[in-house]
Structure 1
Amino acid sequence: MNRNFWIIALISLINSLSLTILIPVIYLYGRQYGLNDFQTSLLFSVYSIAQFFATPVIGKLSDRFGRKPLLMISLLGTVVANLIAGTAATAGVLFFARFLDGITGGNAAVAQAVISDVTTPENRARGFGINGAAFGFGFVLGPAMSLLAQQISLGAAFLVSGAIAFVALMITLFYLPESLPVKAVVVRQNLFDLGLKNLITGLTFPKVGILLIINFLIGTTFTIFTYAFQPYFIQVLHQTNQSLTLMFLVFGVLGVLMQTWGISVLTRKINLVAILFLGLLVRGASFLMMPIWANVIYFVGVTILFSLFNSLVQPMINALISLNARAEDQGTVLGLNASYLSVSNAIGPIIAGLMIHQSHPETYAYPLYLAGLLTLGVLIFAVAIRDRYQVQPGTFA
């Protein structure tokens, strides 16, 4: 791995800090503005809906004009949006801030495109694993910083998040060189050719199209869980927001261990597709097990198992998509991938929000059961069509 790889990994780490500081506070921050559970799910969804439309445009632009300028624009949007959210006077302003963050939030996809530029095919899975570990390490530091910020207010967490995104912006500006070897040729200047049309045409990419569908389904099932997890932990298990933040810290520690050490070991013994299947199997089973017994010790035990294997899924699917795409399409394909994940991130919280009712605590378990069943369904589908996206042995190490 060269110097540029480690710089983008550092930027991913800092960017993940900006994100993970917010994850434990968005639910209760929305409740402070008088939003109910369903309305709070929309607060999660508006960010993802905006990302859905913006990310493929940003990915395509990064193929045409370079990774660095688009990464800087995305990070600047995060800085401004979080400053607005942290000082919002009304729920409407808060929704606008989340939309603004989403519409400029293509930084993860651009960072992945940089990784595809600076790694060889045989090191691609390891590169995405390390980048995933850097992102996961944010789940260690981010919740800790969130706990400190929460001592001031929940809004202070947004201000700290914006300040950290500004640090990533400065590192990008002064230390990250352009990694794009050959810029894509501009055929037409129609804005819709930059991304919206590609949401459909991307599905026709050989092998990549089916992986985009699989990742969309994976993302939808996972975000049903990620929204339902917070109200279940607080409302059913009667835990505090500080305890919730500590849970995210545990997720981060275990994720880093698996993505730095576990992926390296597993990729030497079994192929990427098998690792993906393993992660999905444990993820789905864990979702089904979590709400069986409303006991915090039991719940923590299941989430530890979940955290270890869940961290395998996204690096593997990202690596498979990248390995099956042409070099000149990396930014476009990874942008499309992030966009389909964004729309899944919008759908999942809404599904969970519609299923739960504060006056009926037992309903908080329903999205967890649904997420488990659907995840196992996606696994069966992925196994059945594995020949359509399996990479050749020796393509990875």
Structure 2
Amino acid sequence: MRFILLTVLLDMVAIGLIIPVLPVLVGQFTTDKAAQAFWYGAVMVTFGVANFFASPILGALSDRFGRRPVLLMGFCGFAFSFFGTALATELWMLLAIRVVSGALQANVAVANAYVADITSPENRSKRYGQMGAMFGIGFIIGPVTGGLLGGIDVHLPFFVAGSLALLNLLYGYFVLPESLPVERRRAFSWRSANPVASLKHLAELKNVGGLVVVIGLANLSQFILHTSWVLYTTFRFGWTSVENGWSLLAVGVASVFVQGFLLQRLLKRFGPSKLASYGLVSSTVAYLLWALAFQGWMMYAVIAFNLLGFTVAAAIQGIVSNAADPRTQGQSMGAVASLGSLAAVVAPMIGAPLLGVVSHLPPTDWRVGAPFFFCAALMAVSTVLAFRHFRHQPRTGFDAAASAVH
């Protein structure tokens, strides 16, 4: 577990480094705010499209050949993406680089399958929470460092991120052990590895079913947040890359605190089903408050308010992983990642145009929060579906245990 946690940490630091500066880099190739929002969305979409089709395939390949070689291939894709982006001189180069890197990169899906390989079912939500804490630490270190480096040169964070990806490749090659025994591997099938078949398989898992829609809507709102945050705070509050880096650091601190320290206690008290439901309610309110914020400090206040929102992914991830067969963890986690990739494709098509439409409005106009109002609506629907799903499903052993204790 220590090996995979360090792998995830290095990945997330590398990703976090470029978040505050990628919109700025895209802006160097455009002439106005609306064009910047449009092309930033296009750059994000290309990665998501490639990753949507590739994630279930790479997940199934990890079921056949093991997790380690697919992870190493993902590190290569990361390094190519970062260095290529730093050296790009035209928008079409950025788009082409994102396609290739999206097709090669399925680290999150394979890392989740890796955790399932080495963890007992009752501890998986806790382990996914630890991975979430690594994500949070990555967002503590990455964005603020990226913002500071971007203040020196907008290309510098990409070179640093590429170097971290190469370090991860070397670490994985020499240190990271294989987690999937040969006897638990299964034959690869193109028919079952395509995204549609993988999502159908995911929906057919016992106790999952309708959660597929919940996961999809929650992912969509989260990716709209990711793709809109920097431009939204720039338009609304006039934040620079440095200030955006600090705000993303606050997100990382909250994530580490919740998933690294509170999650295990919350799971014992409520169980994964109730915890996921309460977290969805919290997130719905948080999106609405972000949309209505009229001063920068309010963004930080909402981050602190939305602590339960940081528990949703780990709780649902544990439910899905426990429902999957040990021999199909890669395919199942690939399907979950594919849902995330699909959301990453759709999100910029929604968030960026919404920002483009309101970019001419005064910063104090409430309509500037349009992307976050839309996210709040998505989360409200997701919350209703989750409550309905859990009400009609038999309680898991973990939920029952939580109820018995409290």
Kindly indicate whether the alpha-carbon contact (under 8 Å) linking 1:146 and 1:245 is maintained by their aligned counterparts in 2: yes
1:239 aligns with 2:239: yes
- CA-CA distance at 1:390 after TM superposition: 5.6
Q: Which residue of 1 aligns with 2:290?
A: 290
Q: Taking every aligned residue pair, what percent have the same amino acid on both sides?
A: 25
Letter aligned with residue 376 of structure 1? A
Of 373, 377, 381, the residue aligned with 1:373 is 377
Letter aligned with residue 314 of structure 1? A
Per-residue CA deviations over 1:35-94 (Å, capped at 9, x if unaligned) read: 421221121121111111100000000000100001101111111121110110111101
For residue 385 of structure 1, give the secondary structure of its aligned residue in structure 2. helix
Letter aligned with residue 376 of structure 2? G
What aligned pairs does 1:343-354 form with structure 2 within 5 A after superposition? 343-354=342-353
Letter aligned with residue 66 of structure 1? G
- CA-CA distance at 1:167 after TM superposition: 1.2
Structure 1 window deviating more from structure 2 (65-74 vs 191-200): it is 191-200
- CA-CA distance at 1:147 after TM superposition: 2.9
Per-residue CA deviations over 1:177-226 (Å, capped at 9, x if unaligned) read: 111023433275xx454334334443333333433322111111222222
Kindly indicate whether the alpha-carbon contact (under 8 Å) linking 2:288 and 2:376 is maintained by their aligned counterparts in 1: yes
What aligned pairs does 1:172-187 form with structure 2 within 5 A after superposition? 172-181=172-181, 182-186=183-187
Q: Which residue of 2 aligns with 1:360?
A: 361
Unmatched runs of 5 consecutive residues or more in structure 1: none
1:218 aligns with 2:218: yes
Q: Which residue of 1 aligns with 2:101?
A: 101
What aligned pairs does 1:262-281 form with structure 2 within 5 A after superposition? 262-281=262-281
Superposition CA RMSD, Å: 1.9
What aligned pairs does 1:3-14 form with structure 2 within 5 A after superposition? 5-14=1-10
In structure 2, C-alpha distance between the alignment counterparts of 1:260 and 1:299, rounded to whole Å:
22
Change (3 A) 1:383 1:330: same
- CA-CA distance at 1:391 after TM superposition: 5.0
In structure 2, C-alpha distance between the alignment counterparts of 1:124 and 1:173, rounded to whole Å:
26
Q: Which residue of 1 aligns with 2:128?
A: 128
For residue 276 of structure 2, give the secondary structure of its aligned residue in structure 1. helix
In structure 1, C-alpha distance between the alignment counterparts of 2:188 and 2:48, rounded to whole Å:
29
Structure 1 window deviating more from structure 2 (197-206 vs 220-229): it is 197-206
Per-residue CA deviations over 1:312-352 (Å, capped at 9, x if unaligned) read: 11111111110111111111100110011110121122111
Q: Which residue of 2 aligns with 1:117?
A: 117
Kindly indicate whether the alpha-carbon contact (under 8 Å) linking 2:271 and 2:398 is maintained by their aligned counterparts in 1: no
1:154 aligns with 2:154: yes
Kindly indicate whether the alpha-carbon contact (under 8 Å) linking 1:211 and 1:389 is maintained by their aligned counterparts in 2: no
In structure 1, C-alpha distance between the alignment counterparts of 2:328 and 2:392, rounded to whole Å:
19
1:392 aligns with 2:396: yes
Q: Which residue of 1 aligns with 2:329?
A: 330
What aligned pairs does 1:6-45 form with structure 2 within 5 A after superposition? 6-34=2-30, 35-45=35-45
The total of aligned residue pairs comes to: 390
In structure 2, C-alpha distance between the alignment counterparts of 1:330 and 1:82, rounded to whole Å:
29
Kindly indicate whether the alpha-carbon contact (under 8 Å) linking 1:208 and 1:325 is maintained by their aligned counterparts in 2: no
- CA-CA distance at 1:166 after TM superposition: 1.1
Change (3 A) 1:237 1:151: closer
For residue 154 of structure 1, give the secondary structure of its aligned residue in structure 2. coil
